[in-house]
Amino acid sequence: MVGAAVPADDGARLWAVLESVPDPELPVLSIVDLGIVRSADARSRRVAITPTYTGCPATQVIQASVRAALDGAGFADVEIVTELAPAWTSDWISAGGREKLRAYGIASPTSRGVRAALCPQCGSPDTVEVSRFGSTPCKAQWRCTACAEPFDLFKCH
Amino acid sequence: MPSLPPIRPQDEARARALKTGEGEHGFDAPTEETNASALFDYALRLGDDALILGQRLGEWTGRCPSVEVDLSIANFALDLVGQATYFLGYAGKVEGKGRDGDALAFHRDVLDYRNCLLVEQPNGDFAQTMARQLLFSTWQKMLFERLVISSDALIASVAAKAVKEVAYHEELAAEWVVRLGDGTEESHRRMADGIAWNWRFVPELFDRDEIDSAITSQGIGADVASFREAYDARIGAVLAEATLDRPTDQRPILGGRRGHHSEHLGHILSEMQFLPRAYPDAKW
């Protein structure tokens, strides 16, 4: 309905729906935690998402999951647009998202340009890189020399 | 079967000038016609480089020296095919004839491909693959660093995203060149051979024609000449650390940007394009 008033809490409800959409590769994180949702506006009926990596196969799955979640919550008329610029960066992962990653066994990127990681199991900084590439484009493989556990590191990007 | 386009006299002259470093080596004068289609061609060049190298690297999947390397190379390929998806999709849009990225990837023949010759060269052994990767990724990274400020919004935003991925490719390739070059007698020999094999395709990366001229004058493309010195310095530093000699320059081989390819590209396409050509309406 053109010109219909948007309920005041629609914006909050829209964000809540988006927060319920998990990342297909990292199900403990929502796409909001990951910083994939760039904007969500209930008034203009528009949600903007950005891909994490140019070749990330999850991008299409995410688009489909967002569509399904919006449709299911009565936001069928909300448009999803893909924004390439500014480019996504791992700096956009929220503090809450980083904690969820750690609890899941994935270390978060440290300062830009520093190749280091805290073991998500025991917290030790005595860790070594095993492989710069891992099971998905966003992860590298590391090992803790203190507790000897292997772990994934979310790459600084 | 269509015959290959003839080698033009100006290409011969350019190859000579590139080899000796003498003479007038610059832009061809752009014509109105080239200006109109230059953006389409430029997007194809960027996309085809990424697509063909991505496809080539995919051949390594499951066959690498170790599982970590297998993951790395598969990830390189994934990044590159991702770049190609954006650039070829954009080329189709610019062309405006209803072709999408898939149509351009799967329904173009060898003569219509615009990738540089380096990316279509055979993988050879692991050393030859990593040598090619170093030579290409170093160039691509420097190019993308400049395309970040392109006046074309799509090219600028894809470059800004992809440059971070390419930095990983360049870094890992350089580490392998050093590790193998400065390794055993055999690994040194193999890496020296790998660099030597790929060396003659480097000048083409820095060749400029009327498309580059048109696209650079509009602020869309980057002038490759602006980073030739930085490229030589970086490659020189990696080779030095790898205890490898810089190969002597041979006669450069050009032509990829105009569709004049080596025999290898046809074999890549016959494999890559088989399914969509055999079953044109196939859907996943």
A130 contacts B72? CB cut-off 8 A: no
Q: Does one domain contain both A82 and A115?
A: no
The pLDDT value recorded for residue A114 is: 75
Q: B103 in a domain, yes or no? A: yes
Please determine, for residue B136, whether its predicted confidence score (pLDDT) is greater than 70: yes
**pLDDT confidence bin for B1, thresholds 50/70/90:** very low
More confident residue, A137 or B67: B67
Write down the pLDDT at residue B267: 97
Of A44, A59, A88, the one marking the end of a domain is A88
Query: Is the model more confident about B189 or about A157?
Result: B189
- Amino acid A81: pLDDT: 93
Please report the pLDDT score of residue B203 as a whole number.
Answer: 96
Q: Specify the higher pLDDT residue, B259 or B1.
A: B259
Q: A36, A50, A53, A54: best mutation site toward chain B, by most B Cβ within 10 Å?
A: A54
As for how many domains chain A has, the answer is 2
Structure confidence by residue, pLDDT tens digits, B140-149: 999 999 999 9
Of A54, A85, A134, the CB nearest to B165: A54
- The verdict on residue B26 lying in a domain is no
Say whether pLDDT at B38 is over 60.
Answer: yes
The verdict on A66 and A116 lying in the same domain is no
Number of structural domains chain B divides into: 1
pLDDT of amino acid B192: 98
pLDDT score of A2:
47
B67 contact partners, CB below 8 Å, separation of at least 6 = none
Question: Chain A: residue nearest B66 by CA?
Answer: A131
A2 located within any domain: no
- A84 CB near a chain B CB, below 8 Å? yes
CATH number for the domain harbouring residue B221? 1.20.1260.10
Residue labelled with tokens 């978060």: A108
The domain boundary, picked from A41, A56, A88, lies at A88
Q: Please tell me whether the overall predicted TM-score, pTM, comes out greater than 0.80 for this model.
A: yes
Domain contains A133: yes
The ranges of chain A with pLDDT < 50 are 1-3
Please tell me the predicted confidence (pLDDT) of residue B264: 97
End-to-end CA distance of chain A: 42
Does some domain include residue B134? yes
The 10s digit of each residue's pLDDT in B2-25 is 445 555 666 666 666 665 555 444
Give me the CATH number covering residue A60. 3.30.300.130
- The whole-number pLDDT of residue B15 equals 65
Q: Judge whether B178 is closer than 8 Å to chain A, CB to CB.
A: no
Q: Is residue B15 part of a domain?
A: no
Segments forming the whole domain that contains residue B147: 33-278
B23 within domain boundaries: no
Contact between A84 and B154 using a beta-carbon 8 Å cutoff: yes
Q: Is A92 on the interface with B (CB under 8 A)?
A: no
Looking at the predicted structure, is the pLDDT value of residue B109 above 80?
Answer: yes
Same domain, A20 and A84: yes
Q: Are residues A27 and A76 in the same domain?
A: yes
pLDDT in tens, B254-281: 999 999 999 999 999 999 999 999 998 7
Q: In this predicted model, what pLDDT tens digit does every residue of A96-134 receive, in sequence order? A: 999 999 999 999 987 666 778 999 999 999 999 998 888
Domain of residue A118, residue span: 101-154
